Amino acid sequence: MRCNKFHSGATEPTRQVAKQSSRAVAALIGLVPILALAQVPSDTVYRNGKIYTVENDQPWAEAVAIVDGAFAYVGDNDGVAEWIGDETTVVDLNGRFVMPGIYDSHLHPDLALVPEKVGQFYFEQAVPTPEQVKQQVREFAEQNPGDGWIVGRGWQPVVFHQAGITAGRAWLDEFMPDRPVYLIDNSTVHNMFNTKAMELAGLSRETRDPRHGHFLRTEDGDLLGIVEDGAQAPFFAAMPPIPQQAYEEAYKEAVERLSAIGVVGAKFSQMNVPMIEAVHYLDESDQLTLRVETHLSWKDDYGYVDGRWDHIAGKRLMYRSELVNPNGVKFHFDGVTPSRSSLMLDPYRGEESWRGGDANLTQPEINDVVAYLDQLGIRVDAHCNGDGSAQQFLDAVEFARKKNGPNGPRHQMTHTVFVHPDDRPRFAELNVIPEFSPIYWYNSEFAEGAKTLLTDGQVEGAFPIAEILAAGGRGVVGTDWPVTPLEGIWIGFETLVTRENPWGEMEGAWGTPISLDQAIRMMTINGAWAMELEDLTGSIKAGKSADFIILDQNLFEIDPSDIAKTSVLTTIFRGEPVSIRDAVSAQVQAQLDRPFAAQISFH
């Protein structure tokens, strides 16, 4: 029985643009003009492909027909013929591999793209030495004279430790005492400042640590010049405000880059209201080519968040649309492993009691807030690095489920690095999403720090994705861009299947690999499930939104170690091509040509 047309509200001009774009796709991969009279013609037909649907009852297909942005038919070449009419654009896939569009379940486009739009800079070297940091700060000051802030990004604390240099105020004051300097490390949560910046931020030795961050101190109690986690907020508050246009330009660029690598849905994390306004602007002006879930910062982790309670109370619903879901809040439970601020259940290596300090939230606060937000239908996205913070979050969700019932929002644990074996089945039991950032597995700083600071037993249990999936959990993937390169999502895809270092810099595998089918599901239908969109998208099925990608190689026919070399030739979103490429991605190839695992830090 043939399906009826699916209405998506597309206007005739929009459909004409879609037809023109589809013809461009056809020109790229080979169009065969096959026109036949059909009783219910479709807008576009893609045929003669190897289409992996991620649907258990029909995992493979040869052809699809699209009507008003949705799949009207999924099946073989013969069956699709009756969907072809005089106005149908027919694309011959020439045997190309097709799969559902992918999801990035954790990224920060503003942190990646706004800094350079407002006069901040990134260090030229992937791992700058202290001397290179000093040189670039001086060069920036010379090229930008005056008394304004000097804000740089991408230094690495471990390099200072290796050089025997104490990073902080004293070191910066030696060569830049008269202008405020604030240097953000490559994890974005362990930052260095000088005395001038400290004064402008209104801080002194009497300043107390906030409950969601720390000021490192000298032996006599003075501020060392290093800030961690939410304690950095006063510095961002003291800097000039970021223009709204900078956010809008940044998110527009981010959307274009996401579409280019095959992303059709994403969670934008740790946001404030102006950032959400910028996403809303793109949505209203028809510049969004993917579905977005926004997550407001629960505390002032990167800067003061004005209007938080108005947003939570209901103002967020002003931004709700077919493509934007503003019902998310981001929590930061603990810190990072290299700075020993990951909250662990057992002491760090060589310690009798140090487990990573206190969590950024108390358990009663976590329980009550998660239950409150759960009742409002707001998803909580919780940064949890250590197995102690992971257990705290799972306990809070269990509290919320008992109080509100089991069918509330699917809350998400970000990174899911260390999880006690007893807690791994709780993801399925509590309907909690474990999000993994696979590219971290071979981050040399993380690996070296973990093996040095943690016990062998703690390290052995890192990133237990196979174990959580075996217990019924539904894992998803996030890049945490810019902490890792956005295009690195395909490298992370590869390591899900191989659990081997693409650069050969680490001996042996790290953890248990999963199957290619499991990895694809994590990248597609699980990502849609994590945004509670699995009935609308995430797989190739009649009635679902036509969100899919055409690749230059069949993932089931290549060596798994070549997955990272995959190029997305075309991304189709709601039936319309939104990104067309005719060559292997230069950005992906550039990342494969250099070991960027050495330049990222766990955030």
Q: What is the assigned CATH class of domain 119-238?
A: alpha beta
CA dist 555 and 295 (Å) reads: 32
The 10s digit of each residue's pLDDT in 541-595 is: 999 999 999 999 999 999 999 999 999 999 999 999 998 764 334 444 444 444 4
- Classified as helix, coil or strand, 215 is strand
What local confidence, expressed as pLDDT, does residue 9 receive?
36
pLDDT at 3 over 70: no
Q: What is the mean pLDDT of residues 210-233?
A: 88
Closest alpha carbon to 546 in 1, 2, 15: 15
The 10s digit of each residue's pLDDT in 159-216 is: 898 899 999 999 999 999 999 999 998 777 789 999 999 999 999 999 998 877 889 9
The tokens describing 28, both together, are 């790229």
The 10s digit of each residue's pLDDT in 312-369 is: 999 999 999 999 999 999 998 887 777 777 899 999 888 888 887 667 678 998 999 9
The 10s digit of each residue's pLDDT in 25-34 is: 665 555 444 4
pLDDT bracket for residue 21 (50, 70, 90): low
Residue type, 286: D
Q: Where are the beta strands (DSSP E) in 131-187?
A: 150-155, 181-185
Question: How long, in residues, is the chain?
Answer: 603
pLDDT at 471 over 80: yes
Helical ranges in 190-243 per DSSP H: 195-200, 233-238
Percent of the chain predicted with pLDDT > 70: 86
Distance from first CA to last CA of the chain, Å, rounded? Answer: 51
What local confidence, expressed as pLDDT, does residue 595 receive?
40
Q: Do domains 12-95 and 243-599 have the same CATH topology?
A: no
The 10s digit of each residue's pLDDT in 353-394 is: 888 766 767 899 899 999 999 999 999 999 999 999 999 999
Do residues 584 and 591 make contact, with C-beta atoms less than 8 angstroms apart?
Answer: no
The 10s digit of each residue's pLDDT in 87-144 is: 999 999 999 999 999 999 999 999 899 988 999 998 988 789 999 999 999 999 999 9
Number of H helices, E strands in the chain: 21, 24
Q: How far is CA 192 from CA 149, 189, 197, in A?
A: 13, 10, 10
What local confidence, expressed as pLDDT, does residue 448 receive?
65
CA dist 546 and 557 (Å) reads: 24
What local confidence, expressed as pLDDT, does residue 19 receive?
55
pLDDT at 484 over 50: yes
**Residue 189 or residue 290, greater confidence:** 290
What local confidence, expressed as pLDDT, does residue 2 receive?
37
CA dist 71 and 113 (Å) reads: 35
Mean pLDDT of the chain: 87
Look up the CATH architecture of domain 12-95. Roll (2.30)
pLDDT at 397 over 60: yes
Residue type, 28: L
pLDDT at 502 over 90: no
What local confidence, expressed as pLDDT, does residue 157 receive?
85
What local confidence, expressed as pLDDT, does residue 562 receive?
94
pLDDT at 525 over 90: yes
Dihedral of CA atoms 602, 267, 300, 120 in degrees, nearest 10, equals: 70
The 10s digit of each residue's pLDDT in 45-69 is: 999 999 999 999 999 999 999 999 9
Strands 190-193, 223-229: pairing kind: antiparallel
Q: Does domain 243-599 have CATH number 3.20.20.140?
A: yes
What local confidence, expressed as pLDDT, does residue 22 receive?
61
Do residues 52 and 523 make contact, with C-beta atoms less than 8 angstroms apart?
Answer: no
Per-domain residue ranges of the chain: 12-95, 119-238, 243-599
Q: What is the mean pLDDT of residues 241-253?
A: 95
The tokens describing 453, both together, are 């600071």
- Classified as helix, coil or strand, 128 is coil
